[in-house]
Structure formats: structure tokens, C-alpha cells
Structure 1
Amino acid sequence: MPTPVTPTVRIIGRPNLDREELHRYLAEIGGQDWTAHRPDYNDTQDLIEVAGRTCYRSFAAGLNPNVTRVRTDPDAYLGNIVEHRHGSVLEHAQYTFIIQNVSRVFTHEWVRHRQGVAISQESLRYVRLTELPFWYPEWAQNDPELLSRGQQILTALEDFQTWMADHFQLDRAGMPFHEKKAKTSFMRRFAPEGLATVLVWSANVRTLRHVVETRTDEGAEEEVRLVANQLGELMATEVPALFADYVIDDTGAWTTPHRKV
């Protein structure tokens, strides 16, 4: 029986700032007091602030003769970056996610975001299907006849996958891997686009903001909206100063006056 699944997003990689090397650099340029107002470190937000302040040498007043005042509150500094759309410095901070139990309908759309991302997807040329996990939106789960007929089709396809594996003798001792690969690649042609899969997906903060804005929009596909909303919730907790400008409207869309930072 095909397994119902729910798309999930997890952060598995985030920036790791080398504080010792950063402090050596700051001491060389006379900006060592910059960290005094940072009792609780957030590597991502500090990395972006370092990038921004480097552009103006604004770690302290007077380091750049043109800069006589500097913002000392990190949230205010980062808020100013977002407000003035200085998005280039957001590109320094890269995050990696496991996006699990999403359909290939989802991945066909998600991979259109190419700028500032890296993508690795489970390959059905190599991974043999033994079951067909499938996500049903809530409205479909509330339609018993639709659910029943859908499960019948998935069960038949799942049984066919099992039959093909036996027919091709894929578990026969000594079968060359290239032959297994060729047969497995053929078998995936009988898997539905709604089949659940998994991505490892990396993106910088500038790209993440853009994806959350565009993919939680009311017109986006509903599975895509579900994942983009999870992404936004994770990042709003992870780097609150960089997502504080967002408001979630009545449709569930993440909106901001600072789009495309």
C-alpha cells in the first residue's frame, strides 16, 4: 500500500564564522571594538554585517574619515541593509537544506531557481523503487472517492515495480551493476510525477528571501507554497534580523516592502 507523506524542510548546513581570524583582521584595521555589543553570536548575521561594514570600513567611527557615525545595534544595521536593498552582501551566507517527501511536480518547479543555489536530487536511475510514497493535499484527503481511486492506481504501479524487479532478476547474484542501472532507469518511467523524493538544496540568504517571496504567493502551486512557507519559518527563526520585514497576509503569502533586496 502506498505510503502518504508530508513535505518537510530541515537545515543541515549554515555559515560558521571563524571568530579568531576575524578578530585578527579587526585588530589590524583598528576595528576590534566592533564585537563589544555582541554577547550572543549569530554567525550568519555577523558575517553579513562584516561584509557590509567592509565596504565602507565602518566598524568604528573614524576608520574611514568620511564616516563620523556608525550604527552599533546589529539589528538596526541589518534592517538598514534590507531597507536600502543592499542585497549583494546577503549572498555571502549560504544555507543547506534537506527537502524531503516532495513530489517531482515540486522539483520540476523548484529547480527553476538557479541563481545562487546548488541542487542534488535522489536519482531513480540508481535508486530502485520498492514503494511509491505520495503527498495528498488536505482537500484531496477530504475526498474519499478520489483518495480511494488514487490509492488503487498507486498500488497497481507499486505492484508493477515489484513485478519488474523480479522479472529482470535484479537481485540475482553477480548481475553487473550497469545492467541493474539500465533496468532501474527503465522502471522509473512507470513512476508518477507525484512520487515523493528528496533534495539537498543550498541557497544564499538573498536567494532565500526571493524564493520565500515568490513561492508563498497565492498564485504558486500549493505544494511549493507549503515548502516555501516552511523555509520562511526556519529562516525567520534562524536569522530574525534579516527576515523581520516580512508580514504574512491573509492568503499565507510572505510580503515585504523591500522585495528583491
Structure 2
Amino acid sequence: MPLEVTLIDHARDPLQKLYGAYRTCYTPKTPAEVWGEIRAGRITPEAIREFVAERLKTGHASPLEQVVFWFGVSGVSRALSHQLVRHRIGISFEQQSQRYVKYKEERLDYVMPRSWAKVPGMAAEYDRLMREITRVYEDALAKGIPAEDARFVLPNATPTNFQIMVNFAELLHIADLRLCWRAQWEIRHLVALMRREVAKAIPELGAYLQPKCGDRRLGYCDEPRKDWERCPLGKVRPHKEQLLEVFRAHRGGDVAPLDEAHLRVVEDAGNEE
């Protein structure tokens, strides 16, 4: 069963929602006045996009919680689900039940990591074990053991399905962590497909779904340096320690002055220490 992600729905007019939320914070006008201007067409779509783009460059994240996405996810492993549900703020899950859903196929479907197929003989061992688990599970059901108890033999490889509701602030956080090279391959693939769905529907927002080292996020890596050295993006993204070294040298007068953009990046890195 292949991993599939569908964007079921999203907040209507998300850029307007963001504009209204941000504008409320930075104007003496009431929300009714702000939205009156939006609905009357006095604020052009171009002005809305530009305003939101500028705000997205800042650290003002709370308005992002007012834009919500709904995803349908299928064909992911229970192992992935145990990682995904660790995201708890700004996200809601409805997951396929193993208590009420009985698996009746001739053999349980399952997710096999590619690493097993790369080691001679291990894919066959994996498959043999799954067949045996299937036999025991189906035998338990046939002999009257309730599905809620028969499921105790099911492995982490068993696929599961979700409907997910998540706001944009949390989706950015998930992308920060799960698109990183250090994330496990399956959840990285899942979030990449979620990003693709958002980018198709709302390109202006999808472009911000990056690993945290992305040019629209931190812009540098703050993971352990040994991991950064192994990461393919390490060739184009600096490590936090490098930026701090440059910043200290700059303060000491040992290097040429930094331009404003670079100075802001290294100051942000220094403030996180």
C-alpha cells in the first residue's frame, strides 16, 4: 500500500485570513474596519500578498494559527504514527482503529523499509515474519478472540490511515523538524507530500514549508555539527557554530564588516545561545 496524502480542504481565502490577523495587530482600525476594506476590494490581492510575505519574514507566528489545513493520509506505518502524534499543539488526529477494523486479507499488508531489502536475505526474513503474524492474527479472530485483543500481535509495520487537521504555525514546525535530513525516511516522505499539496493549493504558503535550515526559516543548521557534516544540505547551508565564529571575528575587527542581512542572521544565531 503506497503512502498517499490528499489535501482535503483548507481555510477559505488563507492569505486574507493572515492579512486580517496581522493587520489587526498593527493598526488602530477595528477588525470590522480591516475586513470591510478587504471585502470592498480596497486592499488589492497584490497588496495582501506583499504584506503577508513581509510579516512571514518576522517571528510573529500567532496569526499563522488562524489558517487551518485538513489532510487525508493513508498507507503509513504504525511506527510513523507514533512519531507523528508527538506533535500535539495546533494539530488534531483521527486514526484508523485496530479495535474496530479487522484485517481480513490473506496476508496483512505492511510497510517494509528499503534498508531491509538492501541486506541479502533480510527482505525474505521480514516477509516470512509478516506471513506468520498474519496466520496467528487470523487464527485468533477465527477462534473468537476479539479484534481488540488479536491486534496485540500486530507489528509497527502495519499500515494505518489518518485524517489530520493542523494550523499553519504547527505545520511549519513539523516541516522544520521532519523535512530535516536527520528525520526518519518515512515521516520525511509524508511531510514532503503534505508540502507538495499545500504548494499546489497556496504556493505563497507552501514555499515556507522547509527544513529549519531553509532560506525562509532559520537559514542555518543548529543540529550537532557531525550530523551537519553528513547532511547533503551542509554544502549550501552554514552551521550555527560557523556563523558564531564569523560574528565573533566581526566583533573583534578581524574580518570585513558584514552587510545588514548577514549581520541579522548571525545575531539571531547568537541570541539562541
Same fold (TM over 0.5): yes
- Residue aligning to 2:64: 90
Deviation at 1:95, TM superposition (A): 0.8
Deviation at 1:242, TM superposition (A): 2.2
- 1:221-260 aligned within 5 A: 221-245=184-208, 255-259=214-218
Q: Is residue 2:126 matched to residue 1:130?
A: no
> Is the 2:7–2:194 Cα contact (8 Å) retained in structure 1?
no
Q: Is residue 2:15 matched to residue 1:45?
A: yes
Per-residue CA distance 1:12-61 (angstroms, 9 max, x = gap): 12113xxxxxxxxxxxxxxxxxxxxxxxxxx11222112222333489xx
1 CA distance for matches of 2:70 and 2:208? 23
1 CA distance for matches of 2:140 and 2:87? 35
> Is the 1:212–1:231 Cα contact (8 Å) retained in structure 2?
no
- Residue aligning to 2:238: none
> Is the 1:15–1:95 Cα contact (8 Å) retained in structure 2?
yes
Q: Is residue 2:121 matched to residue 1:145?
A: yes
> Is the 1:130–1:158 Cα contact (8 Å) retained in structure 2?
no
- TM-score for the superposition, normalised by structure 1: 0.70
Q: Is residue 2:17 matched to residue 1:12?
A: no
2 CA distance for matches of 1:127 and 1:246? 34
Q: Which runs of 4+ in 1 moved over 4 A?
A: 245-248
Q: Which amino acid aligns with 2:152?
A: R
- 1:56-95 aligned within 5 A: 56-57=26-27, 73-95=47-69
- Give the match's secondary structure for 1:114: coil
Q: Which amino acid aligns with 2:93?
A: I
Q: Which amino acid aligns with 1:145?
A: G
Q: Is residue 2:181 matched to residue 1:218?
A: yes
Q: Is residue 2:171 matched to residue 1:208?
A: yes
Q: Which amino acid aligns with 2:11?
A: P
2 CA distance for matches of 1:150 and 1:120? 29
- TM-score for the superposition, normalised by structure 2: 0.67
Deviation at 1:210, TM superposition (A): 0.9
- Give the match's secondary structure for 1:84: coil
Q: Is residue 2:77 matched to residue 1:114?
A: no
2 CA distance for matches of 1:15 and 1:246? 17
> Is the 1:85–1:258 Cα contact (8 Å) retained in structure 2?
no
Q: Which amino acid aligns with 2:124?
A: S
> Is the 1:130–1:161 Cα contact (8 Å) retained in structure 2?
no
Deviation at 1:127, TM superposition (A): 1.1
Identity percentage of aligned residues: 22
- Classify 1:58/1:218 alpha carbon distance in 2 versus 1 (closer, same or farther; 3 Å): farther
1 CA distance for matches of 2:80 and 2:216? 28
> Is the 1:164–1:187 Cα contact (8 Å) retained in structure 2?
yes
Deviation at 1:153, TM superposition (A): 0.8
Q: Which amino acid aligns with 1:235?
A: V
Per-residue CA distance 1:189-217 (angstroms, 9 max, x = gap): 01001110011111001111110111011
Deviation at 1:138, TM superposition (A): 3.3
Per-residue CA distance 1:210-258 (angstroms, 9 max, x = gap): 101110111111111111111122222222222435667xxxx872443
1 CA distance for matches of 2:6 and 2:23? 31
In angstroms, what is the RMSD of aligned CA positions? Answer: 2.6
> Is the 1:216–1:254 Cα contact (8 Å) retained in structure 2?
no
1 CA distance for matches of 2:210 and 2:151? 41
2 CA distance for matches of 1:187 and 1:256? 48
1 CA distance for matches of 2:158 and 2:23? 46
> Is the 2:175–2:191 Cα contact (8 Å) retained in structure 1?
yes
In structure 1, the gaps of 5 or more residues are 17-42, 65-69, 169-181
Deviates more, 1:137-146 or 1:92-101: 137-146
Deviation at 1:83, TM superposition (A): 0.5
- Residue aligning to 2:153: 190
In structure 2, the gaps of 5 or more residues are 35-42, 219-273
Q: Size of the alignment, in residue pairs?
A: 205
